[in-house]
Chains A and B, each alone.
Chain A
Amino acid sequence: MKSCKKKYLAVDYFFDELSADQKIQYESHLDTCEACQQTLADLEGTATLAKQYRRQQPDKKFLKNYHDQLQTQFVSAKKTSSPFEKLIDIFFRTPSIPVRLAQAVALLLLGIFIGRNVIWKSDFTTTPLLPNQNSYYTLNEDLLLKNYLQEAEMVLLDVSNLNPVEDQKIISNLIQSTKYIYLLQKTILLKDQASELENFQLMELLNQIELILLEIYNLDEHAPPDALNEIKQHLKRSYLLMEIKSIAQQDI
C-alpha cells in the first residue's frame, strides 16, 4: 500500500479539528485512499484502547501526602494578612500609581547616592560568582572556571551546528577527542567544587552541561539522525549557551 501525503490530515479529521470545507474534501479523498483509511483505522484502534485504559491510581495515603505537601508549600497562604504583610502588599506586591512613582523617585535618589558615595570613591567591583574563588587557583590552570566555560561553549556550539545526517563522522570524532573527554572530567571536578562551596547556581549550570555532554557521549555509533536532533532541541530549549555566555561575562 502506497503512503499518502494527506495521511497527516487524518489526525485532524479524526479529532474533529478540520474546518467544514476541509472535512468534506478529506472525506471524498478517504473514499479512494487506502493509506488514509488504514491511518484512520489505526487512530480509531488507539483511541478505543485509550478509552478503556484505566490509569493505575496512587494509593490514598500517597495522594493525601502529595496534597498536604502542596498545601503547605503553596495553598496555606492566608487571605487575611498581618499589618506588616499589608504594608508589603501596598508597597511591593500590588502598588498603586502614586506608590509606584514614589518608588521610582526613591530608586533614583538611591542610585545617585550609591553613584556618588560608592562607585566614584572606589574601584568598580562586581560580586564574584564563587564565594571562595581562591580555591579554584589551587587546581590546574585548565580548571579555572572562565577557561572551562569557554571550552564548554565551543564544544556545545559545535554540537548545535552539526548536521545529523551529513556529519555522522564528525560526531564520532568529537566524542572520541581528548578535548571532549577532558571537558567531561573537568565538568565533574568543577561540580564537586561548586558543591563544596554550596554554589547552587553553578551546580545547576554544570549539571545541565554534563547532561548534554553525556547524552552525546552515549549516542550509539549508528544512532539515527533523530537522536542527535533531539539533543540539539534539548540544548536549544535549555538556553544553555546563553547562560554560559552570561556567566562568562561576569567577573569570575
Chain B
Amino acid sequence: MNDELKLVKKAKQGDQHAFGKLVQQYQNKILYLAFDLVGNYTDAQDIAQNTFLQAFKNIAYFRDEASFSTWIYRIATNAAIDFQRSRKRRRQIFINQSKYEDEDSPYLENIADPDVSIIKNLEDHDLKKLIADLVEQLSPQQRAAFMLKFFHDKKTDEIAEIIDCNPATVRGHLLRATTKLRKMLKDER
C-alpha cells in the first residue's frame, strides 16, 4: 500500500493528522488548479479552502475505487465551475466587467503562421494574454478539460471522472479548445 493510500485510510478513520498530511501534499496543486480555472488568486484561495473543507467533511464517504487525487481534483473543479457560473450570473445582472486587461495584442504580430518555431517567439506576457483570452471563450467544462490536460497532465479518462462526463466528451472539449486557439491566431493575423 503506498503512503497516500495509508494516509487516506487513516483520514477516513478520523485521523486529523493524516488528513493534514494530505492537505500539505495537495495545497499548491489545488490552489494552482483553482487559479487556472478562475483567473485570480483571491478567489482561487477561497475555492481551495472550501475544497479541503468539503474533503474533510466527506472523507468518510470517499470510496477507494477512485484515486484520492481524482476525488480532490473533482471537488475543486466542481467548486470552480460553480464559482464561474455565479460570477457569470453576477456579471449579467450588474456590470459587464472585463477580467483581463483590454490591451492590443502584440503577440499576433509575431505570428505569421501557427507554426511551432514561430510560437516559440511569444513573449511571456503575450502568451499569458493569449491563454487568458482563449479560456475566456471556453465554457466552464471546456476550460476545466483544457486546463487539466495541458497544464495538470491528467489522462483523458481521469478528466472524464473529474468533470463527470464521458471520455469522448473530454476529447471533444480539447479539440474545440485547440481549434479555437488556431482560429484566434489566424483571424487576427
Contacts and interface: CB of A to CB of B under 8 A. Distances in A.
Interface residues of A, number: 50
A73 interface: yes
A18 to B, nearest CB: 11
B175 A8 contact: yes
Contacts of A226: 139
B70 interface: no
A218 B20 contact: no
Contacts, number: 139
B17 interface: yes
Contacts of B7: none
Given A56-B128, A75-B20, A218-B89, A66 B45 contact: yes
Given A8-B172, A46-B178, A93-B13, A69 B49 contact: yes
Nearest to B11: A74
B38 interface: no
A60 interface: no
A23 interface: no
A53 B128 contact: yes
A8 B78 CA distance: 25
A186 to B, nearest CB: 18
B72 interface: no
A237 B155 CA distance: 22
B131 A70 contact: no
Contact of B151 (A39, A45, A53, A70): A53
A52 B49 contact: no
Interface string B103-147: 000000000001110011010100110110000000111000000
Contacts of B178: 39, 42-43, 45-46
B127 A55 contact: no
B85 A42 contact: no
A58 B172 CA distance: 32
B14 to A, nearest CB: 3
Contact of A12 (B92, B130, B171): B171
Top 4 closest pairs, chain A to chain B, by CB:
A93-B14, A77-B16, A75-B20, A50-B150
21 contacts: A8-B175, A11-B175, A15-B155, A42-B175, A45-B182, A48-B116, A49-B130, A49-B131, A50-B151, A53-B127, A53-B128, A53-B151, A54-B124, A55-B32, A56-B128, A70-B24, A75-B24, A77-B19, A78-B17, A93-B15, A218-B88
Given A7-B175, A211-B82, 19 more contacts: A42-B179, A43-B174, A45-B178, A47-B150, A49-B119, A49-B131, A52-B120, A53-B131, A53-B151, A66-B27, A70-B23, A70-B52, A74-B20, A93-B15, A211-B85, A214-B93, A218-B92, A218-B93, A233-B165
Interface of A: 7-8, 10-12, 15, 17, 39, 41-50, 52-56, 58, 62, 66-67, 69-71, 73-79, 89, 92-94, 211, 214-215, 218, 226, 230, 233-234, 237
